[in-house]
Chains A and B, each alone.
Chain A
C-alpha cells in the first residue's frame, strides 16, 4: 500500500493512498465537524455527497477551501483546519444553511438532538446575516410511521443513501431545484402511497427534523388517564439494551429491571414482555419449519417478524409470497393473546383493553394497523411508541431512570427465555428457532445452545446445522439491500437454503429506526448486540419451548402448536403490492 505524507495544522501524518483529509485528521486528533457526511463502517453505508460544505478546510496553494470529507490526500499536502479563513468559511456554510431553515427549534421534535443545531452552537453562529426565501411545503403526515417535513430538509442526502443504496427501496430522491429543493418521493406522492417499508432508516440518519417518527405519546397518556381502560404494555428485546443511552448510561447497558419499574410507575395495569411473544413465535415458527421440512413443503422458509421486511417483499417480490412463514410478529402475537386469553382470565372485554408497545422500530406502528392483523375489528396492538418516544415520556415525568430499582415483568405474558432476547439482533431469530427445532427433530437435549456460526454483523451470512441426517442450510441477511440479493439468488437458483432470517435494519432491531440516535457511531450498535447476548447468557431457561408459561398457554388455551386455535390467533397472510 502506497503511503502519502502530509501535514495537518503543522503535524506530519502518513496515511494510505485514497484516504480523505477528514479521515487523516482523525489520526492526529484534529476534529473537523461534518453534517452531510455519514460513514457506518462495517455496514457498507457511506454518504459522501459533499453537499453541505460544513467540513471545508484550507489547503496550501489552493485558491478555494476544499471539503475534507471527499478530498483525497496528496503527497506533501499542507492542510490547515484552524485558520480564521477556514473557520469563517465553515461558519458561513452553516449560516447559509440556516438562512432558509425554519427557526422553531424550541418546539421542534429534534430540539437538542439536531445536528444542524449543534453545529450552529459549536461553530459559533450567533446571528444569521441573510434571510433566505423559505419553502412552505405542507408536512406529509399520510403514513402511520414517518412524518416528512420538507421545509427542514438540508439536502444532505443521507436519507437517499439509506433508502436507495442500503435498503434499495428507491422511494426518495432529490426534487426541484434551488431554494425549493428537498428530498422526497416520486410525483410528490404522500409517503403512504409509495412502496416505503417504514424501516425508518431515513429517520435514523436525518440530521434535522425533516424526517421524524409519528409521535404517539399523547395516545399513551390518554389511555393511561382513562379509568375505563385496562392498559397493557409490552417492550421489545432491543429496547432494554438501548433505552439507557437516553439517560446518560453507556451504550450496551442492560436496563430490563429499570424498564419494568418505570412502566409500572407510569400506571400501566399490566407490564408484559414482547419476549413472551417471541417465545410464542418460535413455538409456531419452529413448528411450521418442522412441518414444511417433514411434509415436503415450500423451502426455504423466511422469518416474518420484521414488518419492514414483510412490506418489502410484498412490494418487491410479490411472486414469492409463499415462502415467508405465516407467523405473525411477536408484538402482534402478544397483543392477540392479551386480548383473548389474558382478557378472558381477568374478565375484561377486548374492546376495553388498550395494548401499548414500546418498540425500537417505526414499521411496527404501521404493522399494528394492518387490517388482516385485527380481530373482530379490534387491533391486536393499539398504540406503538419507539424507544425514543418512550424515553421522552419518562423525561416528561421527571423519572430518574438510571437509579430506579429493578423489578420483573408481570406474569404470565412477562415470562421469557434467552431465545427470545436474541430476537433483537441479526441472527437471533433463526438461532432461537434452531434451538427448538433441533430438540424437536432429534429428541435430544441441546448441550450447547449457542450457534456461533449464525452470529456476527456481516450483511449476508450462511451456515449449516446438522440435524439428524439432514444438513439444514441457513441464510441470514440484515439491511434490505442484502435481503434483495439473497432473494434474487433464491429466485435464480444461485442460493439453496432451508431457512432464512431477514431483518431490515443494520444489526437487526438493535439498529432500528426508533432507537436512540447513534449519530453515525457504529460502536453503539455493536455494544447493543453484545448486551443482547449477555442477557441471553444470564437467563436460566434459554429455549423457547421450555418457557413454563408458554407451556401453560398451550395447555390451557391454544392446544397444539401450529394447530387450529393457533392458526386463528397467531398466523396471517400477505398481499402483493405495487412498486412506486
Chain B
C-alpha cells in the first residue's frame, strides 16, 4: 500500500455483485479455522472482486469473526492487498539496485508522465495501474519493465510509448 493510500480512507462501493459475496461466503464457510485463515480469505476476496473496498472488508470481518479494524490492519500491512480498483493492465518498473543504477528512476518518471499517475495509482480510463517493484531477478536485462506477464528488458525512457501502445484502450487484439 502506498503512502498516499495509507492516508486516504478506504473507498465504499455499495453495489457490488451479490454472487461474488455468495462465493466468498461459501469459501469462508468451508474453512476449518476461518480466523486463522484471514490472509487466505483476503487473497480469495481480492481474486474475486479485484480489490478490497470497505464493504468487502466488513463482509470478511463479520464472516470470519474479527473486527473491521483488524482486517484493515492486515490489508494495510501487506502491499499485495489493494483497496482501490486495479487497472486492466499492471505496469511494474523494477527499482532494484541493478535496474536503478541503469536509470530505472528516469524510466519510471517517463511512465508517470505518460500515464498521468504516480506509483500505486490507476489511470482514469482504468486501463493501467503503475507500480514500482523491487528486484525481479533478471538483472542481466536491467532496467526491466513488466506489463502483466510480459517482460521488457533494457528499457529506455524513449521506449515507453511503444511499450504501452498495444495495451491502450481500443488497440488490444
Binding site for B on A (CB under 8 A): 137, 164, 170-177, 180, 184-190, 580
Contacts and interface: CB of A to CB of B under 8 A. Distances in A.
B69 A176 contact: no
A177 B81 CA distance: 13
A173 B69 contact: yes
A180 to B, nearest CB: 5
Contacts of A176: 1, 6, 76-77
Given A175-B73, A175-B76, A180-B3, A187 B67 contact: no
Closest 9 CB pairs of A and B: A170-B67, A186-B68, A173-B69, A187-B10, A188-B9, A173-B73, A186-B69, A186-B72, A176-B76
A172 B3 contact: no
Interface residues of B, number: 20
Contacts of A177: 76-77
Contacts, number: 57
B69 A171 contact: yes
A5 B8 CA distance: 53
A177 B70 CA distance: 14
Nearest to A177: B77
Interface string B1-37: 1010011111000000000000000000000000000
A174 B69 CA distance: 8
Given A175-B76, A176-B77, A188 B8 contact: yes
A137 B3 CA distance: 10
A187 B61 CA distance: 12
B69 A172 contact: yes
Given A173-B72, A188-B9, 15 more contacts: A164-B67, A170-B68, A170-B70, A175-B72, A177-B76, A177-B77, A186-B58, A186-B67, A186-B72, A187-B57, A187-B68, A187-B72, A189-B9, A190-B9, A580-B68
B164 interface: no
Contacts of A185: 69
A316 B20 CA distance: 28
Contacts of B76: 175-177
B7 A137 contact: yes
Nearest to B58: A580
Interface string B40-77: 00000000000000100110010000011111110011
B9 A187 contact: yes
29 contacts: A137-B7, A170-B67, A170-B70, A172-B69, A173-B72, A175-B6, A175-B69, A175-B73, A175-B76, A175-B77, A176-B1, A176-B76, A177-B77, A180-B6, A184-B69, A186-B61, A186-B67, A186-B68, A186-B69, A187-B9, A187-B10, A187-B54, A187-B57, A187-B72, A188-B8, A188-B9, A188-B10, A189-B9, A580-B68
Given A177-B77, A186-B57, A187-B57, A170 B7 contact: no
B69 A170 contact: yes
A180 B7 CA distance: 9
A484 to B, nearest CB: 14
A136 to B, nearest CB: 9
Nearest to A186: B68
A172 B68 CA distance: 9
A177 to B, nearest CB: 5
A159 to B, nearest CB: 11
B9 A173 contact: no
A185 B8 CA distance: 13
Contacts of B10: 186-188
B80 to A, nearest CB: 12
A170 B70 CA distance: 8
Contacts of B58: 186, 580
A185 B67 CA distance: 10
A580 B90 CA distance: 32
Contacts of A580: 58, 68
A172, A185, A187: most-surrounded residue (chain B CB, <10 A):
A187
Contacts of B6: 175-176, 180, 188
Nearest to B67: A170
A74 B6 CA distance: 43
Contacts of A180: 3, 6
